[in-house]
């Protein structure tokens, strides 16, 4: 273990700055919300901050983005339930997993500068048409798990059908935001009734 840490330290010292940021940013944290009345999630480069407000015992849930140099704040969206959020390594994009109901989780990618929203379900359906069978069932949970790099995500689609025979499923994807979708694995099984 000590040797591994030493080798990584030596590599980081000798890598160019751009390569260092790629190594450090490979593990961007996913922040689960709510965490209190106000949560601040800064972008890796410090340019932006996501601010999640959940006042009055979380009776209101709003996600804002603030441009730190200008202190200009814009509303991203209001939410009903819990979220998980993560910044892309280059700070240009962030994803929001929206547990919008007890039977679904939706995932959106936002451009920090424009707040243009990309529905991850639409990207996956276009790249893997068979996925629509799982995206539109009784319980469907689409979650971005982590950034692979600044334009690719590791995504898991899981859930189960509501009609007999009950069938659970888990699909794993590597999704490039340019539209390329690679299914990494698919597992389905009939559930005991």
Q: What is the CATH number of the domain that holds 154?
A: 2.140.10.30
DSSP state of 6: H
pLDDT-wise least confident of 79-83, 109-113, 117-121: 79-83
pLDDT digits (tens, 9 = 90+) for 38-70: 999 999 999 999 999 998 877 889 999 999 999
Q: Is residue 84 part of a domain?
A: yes
Q: Is residue 9 part of a domain?
A: no
Is 61 in contact with 50 (CB distance < 8 Å)? no
Q: Is residue 123 part of a domain?
A: yes
Q: Is residue 7 part of a domain?
A: no
Q: Is residue 37 part of a domain?
A: yes
Q: Is residue 10 part of a domain?
A: no
pLDDT at 131 over 50: yes
Q: Is residue 5 part of a domain?
A: no
Of 23 and 108, more confident:
108
Bond before 27 cis per omega within 30 degrees: no
Cα gap 1→35, rounded to integer Å: 34
Determine the structural domain holding residue 93 and report its residue range.
Answer: 29-190
Cα gap 141→188, rounded to integer Å: 14
Within 10 angstroms of residue 190's Cβ, the number of other Cβ atoms is 12
Is 152 in contact with 83 (CB distance < 8 Å)? no
Question: Number of folded domains in the chain?
Answer: 1
Task: Report the pLDDT averaged over residues 127-132.
Answer: 94
Please list, in sequence order, all residues whose beta carbon lies within 8 angstroms of the beta carbon of residue 171, skipping any fewer than 6 positions away: 131, 134, 156, 157, 158, 183, 185, 186, 187
C-alpha count within 13 angstroms, C-beta hemisphere, residue 65 = 22
């Amino acid at each position: 273990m000590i040797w591994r840490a030493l080798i990584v330290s030596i590599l980081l010292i000798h890598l160019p700055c751009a390569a260092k940021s790629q190594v450090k940013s490979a593990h961007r944290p996913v922040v689960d919300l709510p965490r209190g009345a106000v949560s601040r999630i800064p972008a890796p480069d410090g340019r932006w901050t996501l601010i999640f407000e959940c006042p009055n015992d979380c009776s209101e849930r709003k996600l804002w983005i603030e441009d730190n140099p200008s202190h200009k704040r814009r509303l991203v969206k209001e939410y009903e339930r819990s979220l998980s959020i993560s910044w892309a390594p280059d700070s240009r994009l962030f994803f929001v997993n929206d547990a919008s109901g007890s039977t679904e989780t939706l995932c959106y990618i936002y451009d920090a500068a424009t707040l243009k929203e990309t529905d991850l379900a639409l990207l996956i359906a276009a790249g893997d048409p068979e996925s629509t069978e799982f995206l539109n069932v009784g319980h469907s949970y689409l979650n971005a798990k982590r950034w692979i790099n600044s334009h690719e995500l590791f995504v898991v689609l899981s859930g189960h059908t509501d009609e007999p025979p009950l069938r659970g499923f888990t699909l794993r994807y590597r999704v490039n935001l340019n539209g390329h979708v690679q299914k990494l694995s698919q597992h389905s099984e009939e559930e005991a009734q």
